[in-house]
Amino acid sequence: MPNDTTHDRRQRPPSGRFVVRIDPALHASLRARARAEDISLNRYCARELESPGSELPPPAAEAVGRAHSILGESLLGVVVFGSWARGEPSWESDLDILLIADDQVPISRGLYRQWDGGPPLEWDGHAVEPHFVHLLTDGETPSGLWAEVAMDGLVLFERRLAVSRTLAGVRRRILEERVSHRVVHGNPYWVRES
């Protein structure tokens, strides 16, 4: 039988407080990032500990982690789309993943080179194929890529619901028939209506 002290410790809920000893330079860097976002250091660290992909299955976590390693805080969202997301992959299908970057990050071949610089990523036996983009601006007509992602995309990670709001806006445009899905000779495509 446990003594009273042991029993009392089991009854108390955790305080939620702990001390982490880290390098002073890292502490200063974290404090500067928190200050730049106008949030407390504790809140910033808690958010980062819940960082992108932390609760995802391993292949998804690896994809989100690689995107975060390339874009850092400029990563706004990660969405899986295409035949795999629809549940219709063929054996030769790749797994398309949309990586949404802040507007301050130029979309360039360099981003793809950084992605390709790591070990090849596979998910359910399919190669992960990145597509770097920016969020649509207010009033911007969505491309076929955004229409496809809005219809079938699975959001793995996002900041401040920006990606979900954008996808909801694209779906509204589709429902309003401002963007239409067509098929010619078995090949699907999207058309922007005037």
Distance of CA 19 to the CA centre of its chain: 30
Which pLDDT tens digit goes with each residue over 132-175? 999 999 889 899 999 999 999 999 999 989 999 999 999 998 88
19: left (phi over 0), alpha (psi -120 to 50) or beta: beta
Q: What is the mean pLDDT of residues 76-84?
A: 94
Write the DSSP assignment of 22-66 as a string of letters.
Answer: --HHHHHHHHHHHHHTTS-HHHHHHHHHT-TTTTS-HHHHHHHHH
Average pLDDT, the chain: 86
Contacts of 16 (CB under 8 A, 6+ apart): none
Whole-prediction pTM: 0.71
- Other beta carbons within 10 angstroms of residue 77's beta carbon come to 26
Under 8 Å between Cβ of 97 and 121: no
126-134 and 95-101 strand pairing: parallel
Q: Residue 101 belongs to what H/E stretch?
A: strand 95-101
